[in-house]
Structure 1
Amino acid sequence: MPRPTSPILSLDGIADAAIALVDAGKPFGVNALARELGVTPSSLYNHVDGKDAIVELMRGRLAERARIVVPEGLAWDAVVEYVVRAQRSMFAAHPLVLPLLVGKPVTDVTVLGYYEALAEALLAAEFPDDEVLVIVAVLDAFALGSGLDLSAPPEVWQARPDTALGRLVDRGEAGDVRADRAFDLGVELLLTSLRGRLAATARK
């Protein structure tokens, strides 16, 4: 009697199934993912070391699917804008995955690649060495928050109409329009601040 066939696993397939599982709001873990893939947990462990390794596969797969590769020859501020816009789009598409990603160190080569391009661009622009990593962290936090904002309910604030916030909400945009406008303004403020900081550093 022939042996029963089982699904052929690949790292991309594992990552895609894990992302789909989390996106659907289902419990995530090695056993749950194995059931989703139609294999035993031991078969899954033949390809990955455990839950943390799966999370890192997910991180890299999201970056690959989003095609986040910084083009060569861009000015430092164009690199900053490219990375935060690309990250925001990626994060907004998978808000339930974010808590898993932020809890683990980044080791994926693809993801480290665009962080490296960002760090190199800032260093080449002559931002101080001891500030570059902090700037990268600020940009990362902005992209994460903006991605979550894009996935938020259309009406974020339910304030009383007789308050300043309530009046502003009543007159302002909602949903993606508000989120996009907030993001664009945030990018502008960040770049203006960074350009000013760089100019001030150069004058010292």
Structure 2
Amino acid sequence: MGRPHKPLLDRERITTTALELVDEQGDFSVPRIAARLGVQTASVYHHVDGRDGIVELLRERVCAAIDGGTLDRDPWDTAMAAWARSYRAAFAAHPRAIPLLTASPVRAAKVLVQYERAVVRLLDAGFPLADVMPVIIALENLVLGSALDMAAPEAMWELTDETATPQLARALDVVAGGRTDAAFELALAGYLAHCRNLLNTP
């Protein structure tokens, strides 16, 4: 028999399988990855640095969908807004990965490089060094919270008796079908307005 054109097991397949499990179940384990791939658990460990290594592979995979080129746009607030929207879309595609990824430190080199670009962009815009990480972390809080909201049921408020909460019923009717995008853009606008004030405060 000839040799297979593709290896039976590699980091790419392990990452894909782990992400499938996370999307389906909210978590993964090395034995479950091995079972789905039809290999021994020990075989998986030959390719990755344990569970932590797989988490970082997942981080790289999800973050690869973020368009880092948005950070090159001008002015700086346009760049940060575009980065935020791309960041949100990447994580909204895999919302169950968010709790998993936020529970461990960022180590993946490719992801750290994107943070470096964001830091440089803000420093070039004139932000003091002490403000740079709070600005980035605040943006992440906004983005990841909205990505989770996008995965929530469209009807998050179930009114059994609209006569008891008539104004809530009216407010929900107005935003039906677009609440997550409207809320995100509102929060993003407020965030950017505060950052502009921060930048312009002596």
For normalisation by structure 1, the TM-score amounts to 0.86
For residues 137 and 57 of structure 1, the distance between their equivalents in structure 2, rounded to whole angstroms, comes to 22
The within-5 A match list for 1:12-161 is 12-25=12-25, 28-64=28-64, 66-71=65-70, 72-158=72-158, 161=162
For residues 37 and 7 of structure 1, the distance between their equivalents in structure 2, rounded to whole angstroms, comes to 12
| Structure 1 position 114, deviation (Å) | 2.0
Q: Contact (CA 8 Å) 2:48, 2:54: kept in 1 or not?
A: yes
| Structure 1 position 190, deviation (Å) | 1.2
Change (3 A) 1:167 1:73: closer
Secondary structure of the 1:24 match is helix
Change (3 A) 1:73 1:92: closer
Structure 2 stretches lacking a partner, 5+ long: none
Task: Give the fraction of aligned pairs with identical amino acids, expressed as a percent.
Answer: 36
Structure 1 stretches lacking a partner, 5+ long: none
For residues 144 and 26 of structure 1, the distance between their equivalents in structure 2, rounded to whole angstroms, comes to 16
Q: Contact (CA 8 Å) 1:81, 1:187: kept in 2 or not?
A: yes
| Structure 1 position 171, deviation (Å) | 3.2
For residues 12 and 112 of structure 1, the distance between their equivalents in structure 2, rounded to whole angstroms, comes to 20
Match of 1:171 in 2: 173
Question: Which runs of structure 1 show a deviation greater than 4 angstroms over 4 or more consecutive aligned residues?
Answer: none
Change (3 A) 1:179 1:88: same
For residues 50 and 125 of structure 1, the distance between their equivalents in structure 2, rounded to whole angstroms, comes to 40
Q: Contact (CA 8 Å) 2:66, 2:87: kept in 1 or not?
A: no
Secondary structure of the 2:114 match is helix
For residues 27 and 129 of structure 2, the distance between their equivalents in structure 1, rounded to whole angstroms, comes to 42
Structure 1 letter corresponding to 2:18: A
Aligned: 1:182 with 2:183:
yes
Spell out, residue by residue over 1:12-51, the C-alpha distance to the aligned partner (whole angstroms, 9 max, x if none). 2211111011111275101111111111111100011211
| Structure 1 position 184, deviation (Å) | 1.4
Q: Contact (CA 8 Å) 1:88, 1:144: kept in 2 or not?
A: yes
User: How many residues end up aligned between the 2 structures?
Assistant: 197
Change (3 A) 1:84 1:138: same
